[in-house]
Structure 1
């Protein structure tokens, strides 16, 4: 039997949605029933787990894991059952203390935790670059000084110039080797990711998205917002755990291979990738 195909079946749902006191979860449940969809149908369409769909329809948002995830789930489920998500999200905010006012247009969550590990990396890089510059300068000074001594000995012995030339030729590779030994890391090097590790690259191609990444020990690697056009690369010896706040705006590359999962705009995805071929844990 088909449910919700006739205008008569849909009118009561539209009227009930306007009734005062109709909860967010009840509105989603009524819209799903009116559309002739089961919880399994909604789960297959949105990739939101059955337990979370059932909890939201019962107005239990604890399994969502926080207001950010709850709003993302509400947006995804509302679209799946043909509801405008904006009134539902506004009602959710009103019932749960309202959406917090951001300090800036792109202020990420847990900004202190996000900035701390990023600052530590550039400090070490700057120290290494400074050390390389000092080594190159010292070698260059030695070469120049050796060349000057050789020219002073030319009137005495022609062969005196030969050691200086030889030293210069020998010293040149030494100045090049430190510069090549510590190249700056690049996200494009993911195609040559080592086989004994898992390498994940996240690119915000269709808009900005909140990203959280942890290694196999649960240590936080990144927690913040990627703007459109930005990318982040994460690497671990065995496993990378990801949470994508807007999976539809993100493109993933795992161990050098593009992940072609059809993520929905606004959908919240929790993913785990391991070594070898891309596989979702």
Structure 2
């Protein structure tokens, strides 16, 4: 079967048994053909790669990267071709020995405590500090220049200028000019940079396939994020995400943690902009 083929070029497999129940892959393929959709159409609608769609329709779930991802792909493909996904997922679970066991809670909390200690340098905070330093230097230079002009005017207008008076007008602390440079606050660090959207994706509770695109649709990343790994994406206006196993993912958007209750095995499509999150 060639990629991008038309539904008319595909024919259902022949089966001598009239009451034979089609396999999961064959049921999805037959429903796709009946809906007049190509593999490209289904791939574009679900964000599931073409090679994986072909493999699932051939009942080969190994390219999915695990049973959790396979269930998510089956659910999305079934919805795209107008099938009820629950019977197919139930059959898949029965063939694979039942639904996956829940992940113990204790290791998750331990990973949550350990992970912040392994974080790298906070480049956002460093950038804000550098900006504040530049603004402070410019402000101090302007303040000092204005004071010097005032001292020169006093010398020109006064018949008996006093050196001590002109010097006393310049505010000093411990014999040095006062530096009006402000200290950066935590809220300023969390909000910067305000002219971009920054999304950090961490596989905190397991591995997950993720895809990220910028506002132009350009692919920033498409692959498997292993447990403990993280990726950071930045764009001028918008980041589009697809999470293969959203329950394993922890998100930070513009410096704020996203508290959405993502379920294990759920496939989520998310979009974040410069103003997100509104609350959190």
Shorter chain as denominator, the TM-score bin is 0.3 to 0.5
TM-score after normalising by structure 2 = 0.45
TM-score after normalising by structure 1 = 0.45
Q: Name the one with the larger helix percent.
A: 1
